[in-house]
Copies of this chain bind each other. A is one copy, B any other.
Amino acid sequence: MTDTVGISLLGPGNIGSAVVGALARGSDRYAARVGRPLELRRVLVRDASKPRDGVRADQLTTRIEDVLADAGTQIVVELMGGEEPARTYIEQSLRAGKHVVTANKEVIAKAGAALLQIAADHGVRLLYEASVGGGIPVIAPLSRDLLANEVTAVTAIINGTTNYMLTAMTQQGADYGAILAEAQRLGYAEPDPTADVEGFDASYKIAVLCGLAFNVDVAPGEVTRQGISGITARDIAYAGQLGSVIKLLARARLVDGEVEVSVQPTLIGRGEPLAKVDGVLNAVQLEGDLVGRVLFEGPGAGPGPTTSSVLADVLDIAQDIVAERAPRPAVPRRRVRVRPPEEHMARYYLRIRVLDQPGVLARIAKSLGDAQISIASVIQFDSEDQATEGTAELVLTVHRASGAALQGALAEIRRMDSVVEVGNVLPMEG
C-alpha cells in the first residue's frame, strides 16, 4: 500500500514525452479520478545522459532491471515499438507483478494471447487500447456499450499512410509513385514504406481487433494481405465510374464459427460511411446483431491521440489498484479456423487488358460462367496511348464468388492468346 500509483515508462520519444507532459498537466484531475496521485517513477532510455523535459535525471535509466526492481512501480507503460526488446520487457514486467499498458501493435498481434495468459497468471492486467486506431475508442464500446450484441464483423481503415495516399490519388488523379514521393516528403510515409503500403501494419492491427471484437486469436501471418503498391490511377478512375472509391480495408468476419480476415485494397460504394473517411483519419466499423453498423472515426496516430488511449488504460488500472479490485479472470482466447483466401466469398472487380478483337469478351465470360461466377457489369475502355495501341481494357465486376473459383477462372483467362494481362483483382465491399 503506497500513497501514489507509480508509473514507469519504457521508451522516450514523441509519445513518451507527450505522456509525461499530459501526466503533469492533468495531475490534479487524474488524482481526483483515481483517488490517489499518479507518480512518474522511472523512464527507460537508450542514453541517460540526454536530458528530457519533465523527467529528473535520477529517474532516467538504461537498465530494465531498475524498473523491474522498483517496488513503487505498479504500472509499466511500454512505448518503444518494434518486436524486441519490447516483448521481452513486457513479459518481464508482468512476471514482476506489474500491470502493463502498451501501444505496441506488433507485439500484441504476434504474442498477445501468450502475454495475456502470463498477465492472468500473475494477477495483473495487460491493456493495449493505443495499439489500434490511435485515439479512437474501441475497447470500451466493445466491452460495455455493445455488450448486448453479437459482434460479427469489423471493417476498418487503420493505416493512415495508405489512406492518405489513396485519398490523394483519388483527388488528384495521380499515380502511386508520385503520391508516395509526396507522402514521404510530407512525413506521412517512411523512407522504407513497406510496412504501411504492403499492409503489414494493418494486418497487425486487424489481428489485434480480432482479439478485442471476437475474443479470437489470429496470427498476423494468417491475415490475407494485399498492399496498395499495385493500385493505379486507372483503377481509381474505373472504381469512380462504378460509383466507388478504393480504400485499404482491414476486415474480419465471423462466418459459421470460422474467421475470415483480410487487408486488401477494396472497392467501396461512395455513399458508405467508410468511403468518406479521408486523409490520415482512421475508422473502425463494428457490426452487431442488434445495433447494425456503428463507426468510430478519429486520428489514427500522433502523440496526443496515442497518449489519450495510453492514459485511458493507465487510469482504468489505477482505479482498480486503489479500489483493490482483482483483475477479472482472463477469458481464454478462442482458436477458430482462419479461412484461407480461397474460401473468402466476395464480389470482385477485375481489370483485364485484351487484344481489341471480336469474341474476347465472350471467351472470358465463358470461363467465368464455367466457374459458376456471374458477371454483374462490363465496361470496355479503348486504349488511349501508343504503348497499348490495338488493345482494350475490360473492367468487369462479378457477383459473389469464392477466391478459389475466381483464381481458377483467372488462370484459364490468363492462358488466352487474346488476353494481354490480368491486371488488378480487387474485392468489393457490401
Q: Which residues of A contact B (CB under 8 A)?
A: 22, 26, 29-30, 33, 129, 135-141, 143-150, 271, 273, 276-278, 281, 288-299, 302, 304-305, 307-309, 311-312, 314-316
Contacts and interface: CB of A to CB of B under 8 A. Distances in A.
Contact of A294 (B30, B137, B146): B137
Nearest to A141: B137
B146 A144 contact: no
Contacts of A33: 147
Nearest to A289: B304
Contacts of A150: 26, 29
A378 B314 CA distance: 51
A105 B316 CA distance: 29
A26 B315 CA distance: 32
Nearest to A145: B137
Given A147-B315, A271-B278, A281-B273, A292 B298 contact: yes
A293 B129 CA distance: 17
User: Which of A139, A143, A149, A315 gathers the greatest number of chain B CB atoms within 10 Å?
Assistant: A149
A304 B143 CA distance: 18
Nearest to A139: B145
A53 to B, nearest CB: 17
A383 to B, nearest CB: 35
10 contacts: A22-B148, A33-B147, A136-B294, A137-B294, A147-B312, A148-B314, A291-B299, A292-B298, A293-B298, A294-B297
Contact of A22 (B139, B271, B281, B290): B290
Contacts of A305: 290-292
A298 B294 contact: yes
A277 B22 CA distance: 32
A64 to B, nearest CB: 26
A146 B298 contact: no
Given A145-B129, A145-B139, A308-B149, A294 B296 contact: yes
A252 to B, nearest CB: 19
Contacts of A135: 290-292, 294
A244 B297 CA distance: 20
A147 B315 CA distance: 8
A304 B288 CA distance: 10
B273 A297 contact: yes
A140 B292 CA distance: 18
A302 B293 CA distance: 13
Nearest to A302: B292
Given A140-B140, A141-B137, A296-B296, A148 B291 contact: no
Nearest to A137: B145
B292 A299 contact: yes
Given A29-B150, A148-B22, A148-B30, A290 B308 contact: yes
